[in-house]
Structure 1
Amino acid sequence: MHSPSGDNNVTDTAAQDADLNAEALAYHAEPTPGKIATEITKPASTQHQLALAYTPGVAEPVRRIHADPADAYRYTNKGNLVAVITDGTAVLGLGNVGSLAGKPVMEGKAVLFKRFAGIDCFDIEVNADSPDDFIDTVARIAPTFGGINLEDIAAPHCFDIERRLIERLDIPVFHDDQHGTAIIIAAGLLNALELQGKTLQDAKIVILGAGAAGIAAIHLLISLGARLENIFTLDRKGVIHPGRDDLNTFKAEIANATDKRTLADAMRDADVFIGVSGPDLVSDAMLASMAPKPIVFALSNPIPEIRPTQAFKVRDDLIMATGRSDYPNQVNNVLGFPFIFRGALDVRASRINQAMQIAAVEALRSIARESVPDEVLKAYELEALEFGPDYIIPKPFDPRLRERVPQAVAHAAIDSGVAAMS
């Protein structure tokens, strides 16, 4: 498909991308390569201070931790340290580029953890020939950390890797590409449905993309009240239905016994479209065939499944979200993972369970329904912003995220019995 603004727009976009790429390379290379570093948190400028920091002073906390492993949270940085770990098999939209090429993304994730939630991170890139090797590596280094953020791991291995690590470890393990994306989708969708006068229980939902994000979103939406018989999921071969003989376990669980086979079939009379797939896959005709007051989350990045400028020419009764920051309603994982981990770490949760995820959803959607602080308007150079079709989820720089989401997650951890502290 062509950009609705014509060939000149495509040329301008290519030039802008080239400029941004050059700027990004300079940003990563200068004045010091990379985006993160370590810092010393205790004074170490005298002989006595060095004696406390290392030998002989360090021996006493070693003895205490040996006697009681929980003391690692008191005498080391474990309780505020998260590992951001990848095998490089699904990096951004670039695919299996290898673990080392994924390092800039892992460093970027560490920046977001620190900037938004004050959480320290080590980025770890693992060369692993199999999921078993990856799991074993992560499990062996886990004592260092208070939590594990899995990142950019291809489906379907990502599902099994996360499940087995959760079962094996006593600290939170969270695959953000699955649950982080699902949480932000759910928060925005619940608000959009309300604005459109619809309910999650009755909504007919099309999900294009049956990878980590798509499948996790389905499970979370069902836990919130959606019905599987109303959810039509598509992969590269079309609608996922029980009659197919090529479904893995994870796709079989979300198969819909329907006679719909194509995206065009599924979009007809649908209330919601959620795209976690690729660029320009939704046509004008497909959008036009949706039910009145449709909701479209076209989350492919940088080019969505259908572009907002195109979509609003077809439908003026639409609520739309994308993964981009230059359009309203950006579905951005930074709204979730820093604050979810902050809440989990604050109460030493052993896992991030479904109750904690739902608590994050409810906290996020409630923030968007309240008056927007002046500092948010200033950060985005806006005169006004209020709950409505162009504002269904909070902005990443909203200070209420740091206040409210961790608190909600921590309370859910305590109430569901996975917290070591109250």
Structure 2
Amino acid sequence: MGEPRLPRKCLSPARFSSSGPVCSGWWRSADGFAVRIDKTRHLSADGSRSALVSCLQSAAAVRARSRRQTLAAAARWSRIPPTRRAVARRASDGKVTSAIGRAGGDIGAIDLVEVRKKTLIRDLTFKASDERHGQQVVERLKAIDGIKVAQVSDRTFLMHLGGKIEIKGKIPVKTRDDLSMAYTPGVARVCMAIHHDPAKAYTLTTKGNTVAVVSDGTAVLGLGDIGPNGAAPVMEGKALIFKEFAGVDAWPICLATKDVDEIVTIVKALSPVFGGINLEDISAPRCFEIEERLQKALDIPVFHDDQHGTAVVVLAALINALKVVKKRLGDVRIVITGAGASGIATAKLLMKEGARHIIGCDRAGAIYAGRTENMNPMKEWFAKHTNPRRVRGTAGDALADADVFIGLSGPGVVSLKDIKTMNRDPIVFAMANPVPEIQPEEVGAYVRVMATGRSDYPNQINNSCCFPGFFRGMLDVRAKRVNDQMKLAAAHALASIVAKGELSDEYITPSMFDARVVPTVAAAVAEAAVKSGVARKQHR
């Protein structure tokens, strides 16, 4: 005869009250429950951390209509002698919720997983501010007598189990007839059609909707050179965004080489099956040479998102921020920290739009003509084309009387003291991730328009508002290359989504979840490609 299970009414969370400062997970009734815990930690999309806790909960003291019924039921269902009822009651006295609350955790969902002879298994989810905080909560739970933390996992890691993307067939293959057309012998006719007219690859294969996301793992997020395997989750994530937001099929290609010649050769060899190349997380200055050489060699667009995606979203946000403060791009003084791929590309695009007063800064300070310290060919370009007054000193020195600060560097580059020296109604884009150059809380009322690269503050400036729509537009007209007209068109299209009546200090750029973003950017890019003569087909 099977083991009797606790009646459903005894397991209902509604019958119990939480004894801790945060709503429940360690259930407590008038009779009490002894609980042991199995905990798993999670990381949410915005960076907050939570934990999943499986509670092994003794059923020794299930409340019934009378004390005698309670003890009999507990002994029968849990096979725990009635003499243990006091122990069960004491062990359940809100220890779990209290521990989580004292550690600053925020309890979320609680689920009953399994009923055993002497225990109940529960899953409990709680949030924490970061990984370290989550571990502190775990250690508090482990320290509770009678509690067992049996398993720990992270919901971001769970999301990545087995990867985030897959290949799926578009047609069913259920019969011999299906197989003969999808594969041999019928496919041979399609092969020969493409052989005689290579342009048919756009309509008879996936080429017309497929992008390669290529990285060597040398400049991944703020992590630096972590190699091709370490870069793979980022490239998969990018491929997922391509598909989910723009319907573009993208595939991560992480290369185990840092040699520029080898990277160019490999990508050229792979290019026939792709309609575009997205270069990603390749360190400067190599990224400039790789992109330039590939674009010259290939007849499909090559787009380094760290450069051009960043430049597009920054320009879009700045167009609207300047409307808020009623200033003109050609008049304002702009300081950019970070003379890497994104910093230089942003400066170039701003100048194409009409910016005239830009000062670029790196770790050595302001870049100016004649500087010899920490220079490379791209910084030489920066020195030659920007900072006409040859301002010297630190980034903080350069900010004196500036109107706009664009941070594409790292935390702590500028201080509140530096921000206070800026011109009236300053605009600050602190875009370093995960920690911006200066925190919005620090600048407070001293800044008129504040933006970051983070989703937990207003005005998030994110490349994801650019690259899905940008590639969608290029693929739709079978563009041969990327040019400045397309980038400027994308920036203006993105800025236009925020209507004049909606513009404010805290709303200068749309969210990537705004359904208008991808089609608006795609249409603008496609039209610009046609007008500039780099499209193979007309935009519908």
2:429 to 297, 305, 316: 297
Instruction: Report whether the alignment pairs 1:196 with 2:325.
Output: yes
What secondary structure sits across from 2:382 in the alignment? coil
2:476 to 331, 346, 355: 346
Instruction: Report whether the alignment pairs 1:221 with 2:350.
Output: yes
Instruction: Report whether the alignment pairs 1:407 with 2:535.
Output: no
How far did 1:12 drift? Answer: 6.6
Identify unmatched segments of 5+ residues in structure 1. 1-10, 372-385
How far did 1:400 drift? Answer: 1.0
Distance 2:496 2:251 in 1: 32
Instruction: Report whether the alignment pairs 1:17 with 2:130.
Output: yes
Contact conserved, 2:366 with 2:392, CA < 8 A, in 1? yes
Contact conserved, 2:264 with 2:290, CA < 8 A, in 1? yes
How far did 1:350 drift? Answer: 0.3
What secondary structure sits across from 1:254 in the alignment? helix
How far did 1:23 drift? Answer: 2.3
Residue in 1 that maps onto 2:71: none
How far did 1:15 drift? Answer: 4.5
1:241 to 368, 376, 380: 368
Contact conserved, 2:164 with 2:237, CA < 8 A, in 1? yes
Instruction: Report whether the alignment pairs 1:206 with 2:335.
Output: yes
Instruction: Report whether the alignment pairs 1:360 with 2:513.
Output: no
Distance 2:435 2:234 in 1: 19
What secondary structure sits across from 2:272 in the alignment? helix
What secondary structure sits across from 1:291 in the alignment? coil
What secondary structure sits across from 1:368 in the alignment? coil
How far did 1:40 drift? Answer: 0.1
How far did 1:16 drift? Answer: 1.8
Q: Which amino acid aligns with 1:402?
A: V
Q: Which amino acid aligns with 1:359?
A: A
Q: Which amino acid aligns with 1:145?
A: F
Residue in 1 that maps onto 2:382: 254
Q: Which amino acid aligns with 1:168?
A: A
How far did 1:402 drift? Answer: 2.6
Query: Deviation per CA, 1:364-386, whole angstroms, max 9, x where unpaired?
Result: 11101267xxxxxxxxxxxxxx2
Residue in 2 that maps onto 1:5: none
What secondary structure sits across from 1:397 in the alignment? coil
2:301 to 164, 167, 172: 172
Residue in 2 that maps onto 1:4: none
How far did 1:81 drift? Answer: 0.4
Residues 370 and 65 of structure 1: is their aligned pair in 2 closer, same or farther, counting only changes over 3 Å?
Answer: farther
Distance 1:131 1:261 in 2: 34
1:71-110 → structure 2 map (5 Å cutoff): 71-110=200-239
Give identity over the alignment, percent: 51
Q: Which amino acid aligns with 1:128?
A: T
Distance 2:104 2:438 in 1: 19
Residue in 2 that maps onto 1:118: 247
What secondary structure sits across from 1:304 in the alignment? coil
| Structure with greater proportional helix content | 1
Distance 1:79 1:134 in 2: 23
Distance 1:361 1:57 in 2: 46
Distance 2:104 2:296 in 1: 50
Instruction: Report whether the alignment pairs 1:322 with 2:452.
Output: yes
How far did 1:122 drift? Answer: 1.1
Query: Deviation per CA, 1:149-195, whole angstroms, max 9, x where unpaired?
Result: 00000011111111111101000100000000110000000110121
| Structure with greater proportional strand content | 2
Q: Which amino acid aligns with 1:27?
A: M
Residue in 1 that maps onto 2:283: 154
Larger radius of gyration: 2
Instruction: Report whether the alignment pairs 1:276 with 2:408.
Output: yes
CA-based RMSD: 1.6
Distance 1:118 1:159 in 2: 28
Q: Which amino acid aligns with 2:394?
A: T
Query: Deviation per CA, 1:285-319, whole angstroms, max 9, x where unpaired?
Result: 00111101000000001111111111115x1x520
Query: Deviation per CA, 1:102-140, whole angstroms, max 9, x where unpaired?
Result: 000000000100011000011100111411111111111
1:232 to 356, 359, 364: 359
Q: Which amino acid aligns with 1:254?
A: F
Instruction: Report whether the alignment pairs 1:133 with 2:265.
Output: no
Distance 2:173 2:331 in 1: 62
Contact conserved, 2:391 with 2:398, CA < 8 A, in 1? no
Mean Cα deviation higher: 346-355 or 243-252: 243-252
What secondary structure sits across from 1:99 in the alignment? helix
Query: Deviation per CA, 1:351-405, whole angstroms, max 9, x where unpaired?
Result: 121101111011011101267xxxxxxxxxxxxxx21111101111111113211
Distance 1:12 1:49 in 2: 59
Q: Which amino acid aligns with 1:52?
A: M
Number of residues paired by the alignment?
391
TM-score, scaled to structure 2: 0.71
Q: Which amino acid aligns with 2:277?
A: I
Query: Deviation per CA, 1:219-278, whole angstroms, max 9, x where unpaired?
Result: 000000001xx1111111111111212422211111135132211210111000000111
Contact conserved, 2:366 with 2:391, CA < 8 A, in 1? no
Distance 1:205 1:89 in 2: 29
Q: Which amino acid aligns with 1:343?
A: G
Residues 141 and 297 of structure 1: is their aligned pair in 2 closer, same or farther, counting only changes over 3 Å?
Answer: same
1:411-422 → structure 2 map (5 Å cutoff): 411-422=527-538
How far did 1:17 drift? Answer: 1.6
Residue in 2 that maps onto 1:6: none
Q: Which amino acid aligns with 2:372?
A: D
Distance 1:49 1:115 in 2: 29
Residue in 1 that maps onto 2:503: 387
Mean Cα deviation higher: 103-112 or 11-20: 11-20
Contact conserved, 2:367 with 2:392, CA < 8 A, in 1? no
2:160 to 28, 35, 38: 28
Distance 1:350 1:51 in 2: 34
